Structure 1
Amino acid sequence: MPPHSFIAIVMKDNRAEPPIDKLIIEAHDEIVAVTTPDEEAVMYDILTGVL
């Protein structure tokens, strides 16, 4: 995770889940993330697996 970025919440089956360590993010989950413009591409790559 970039140093100035974090996951704020994960939506699973229309429920908001806090981003705790044991949470497993699955393919259809929605992620609300906060980042800076400089770290946006890195955050996207991490969360999508695109390199």
Structure 2
Amino acid sequence: MKRLTIRLAVREGAAYLRTHNDSQNGPMLNINRDKLGYKPVPGYYRMVKDLT
């Protein structure tokens, strides 16, 4: 699915693609970095507090 998405983005002239991963999911991080060429960049952090 990711490869199809990348092909579509290239065909449509996208400037870049982003993906998000669980930082503990080593196998997916390896696929994204090693096989698909994604580069890690600083991310966003979200903190949530349940007030109920």
Q: Under TM normalisation by the shorter chain, which class is it?
A: under 0.3
Q: Which has the larger radius of gyration?
A: 2
> Which structure is richer in relative contact order (CA contacts within 8 A, separation 6 or more)?
1
Q: TM-score, normalised by structure 1?
A: 0.27
Question: Which protein has the bigger strand share?
Answer: 1
